[in-house]
Amino acid sequence: MESKKENIKEDLELDIEKEQAKPSKLFFNIFLIIVGSIGLAFGANWLLDGAVDIADNFGVSEHIIGVTIVAFGTSVPELITSIMAAIKKETDISVGNLIGSNVFNILGVLGITSLVKEIPVTAQVVTNDIYWVLAISFIIFPLMIFGYKINRIRGLLLFASYCVYIYFVVS
């Protein structure tokens, strides 16, 4: 009987210690967010500057660099997050991360950026890229609605469609 009371008392003391440790952990997490945001800003600038330099040096259009190097560089965090979520069998997080990221990039990032400066849309985006975006969206939409799974074969087909898109953009 006495040991149960001691265990309960020890558990309460551990809970109190954990509660007291939270504020310092909160400040540390806020610090990490600030440092990460600053690093992200510098990294994004370096990525963009490097991509523009590559385009200039090799005579490649900025559009091609944008849909290849810059797109890959900005998608790596989502890719890693989705892979880790899939490994942990948290597929809803994986899909939500990818869809949420794309919706936010199109609506949030594009919207906020256009508030700062007008963004010209090239003819290639209107006559080519938009159809690829719509086609892939229509392919993936039924998979989400009807609960089908995106297995390895479908994933390979989606990746292959990206490769075909890149081929047509580059050629």
User: Average pLDDT of 27-50?
Assistant: 86
Percent of the chain past pLDDT 90, that is, above it, reads: 8
Question: Averaged over 58-86, what is the pLDDT?
Answer: 83
- Beta carbons of 148 and 142 less than 8 angstroms apart: yes
d(CA 78, CA 105): 12
- What is the distance between the alpha carbons of residues 95 and 86, in angstroms, rounded to a whole number? 9
Residue 68 per-residue DSSP state? I
CA distance 135 to 133: 6
- Please state the φ and ψ torsions of residue 120, each to the nearest 5 degrees: -75, 140
pLDDT of residue 34: 92
**115 pLDDT more than 90:** yes
Please tell me the pTM assigned to this model: 0.64
Q: What angle do CA 40, 41, 47 make, to 5 degrees?
A: 85
Using CA atoms in the order 125, 129, 134, 137, what is the torsion angle rounded to 10 degrees? -130
Q: What pLDDT is stored for residue 93 in this prediction?
A: 81
The residue behind tokens 């003391």 is 13
